[in-house]
Amino acid sequence: MDDFAAAYGRYGFQRRAFFPCYGLAEATLLVSGAEPEAGYRLLQLDRRAVEEGRIASLDDGAAPAMAVVSSGTPAARTTVVIRGDDCRALPEGSIGEICVQSPGVALGYWGDPLATAATFYASVVGHEGSFLRTGDLGALLDGQLYVVGRRRDLLIVAGRNFYPHDVESAATGIDERFPQGLGGSVPGAG
């Protein structure tokens, strides 16, 4: 986003025009968002802490960094809870599954009662009502939602969590023949 703003700033694009938000079809799109024209909040996180399931800002820059943009604060009449594997709400700064409760959450999937029950009617210990399980992983910090990956895409190796974008980043850094970033083509691939 910084690169985009820098590249298009000379054509009149203003960084404050970014509106980072989080949503999904099951929640009628919007779950959380930034303040209009406020730009975006970027955290440089300690990559090892994220692998361990928590959000920790880099203090001295010595640890490997992972940049994460805030998806803003929950929309009106929307409750966002980060749920652990034990169905309990996790404390601030802990990474778990993003669960949503809102009048905008759909009632379920058409003609699929099993998927509806598993996705739309989750419980969170200590909270009343049912929650939508998004399948996304994230954390709440200072009222802001930070999305770090997808539950299904998470690779767990020797107790450490690895996200696909981390694997891609590591692979592109080992050899100049690998494309940098998403959407590139691998030289020689057919």
Report whether pLDDT(58) > 80: no
Residues 6+ apart with CB under 8 A from 133: 83, 97, 99, 118, 119, 120, 122
State the DSSP string of 26-93.
GGTEEEEEPPTTS---EEEEEHHHHHTTB--B-SSS-SPEEEEEB--EEPTT-EEEEE-TTSBBPPTT
CATH of range 2-172; options 3.40.50.300, 3.40.50.11390, 3.40.50.12780, 3.40.50.11900: 3.40.50.12780
| Contact predicate 160/51, CB 8 Å | yes
Instruction: Specify the pLDDT at position 47.
Output: 85
Residues 6+ apart with CB under 8 A from 14: 5
Cα–Cα distance for residue pair 18/31, rounded to 1 Å: 17
| Contact predicate 82/94, CB 8 Å | yes
Map tokens 């592109």 to a residue: 172
| Contact predicate 134/100, CB 8 Å | yes
Supply the pTM of this predicted model.
0.79
pLDDT in tens, 114-137: 999 999 999 999 999 999 999 999
The SS3 call for residue 6 is helix
pLDDT in tens, 75-87: 999 999 999 999 9
Using a pLDDT cut of 90, give the percent of the chain over it: 59
Residue at 37: amino acid letter: E
Render the burial of 101-111: b for 16+ CB within 10 Å, e for the rest: bbebbeebeee
Number of other residues whose CB lies within 10 A of the CB of residue 37 = 11
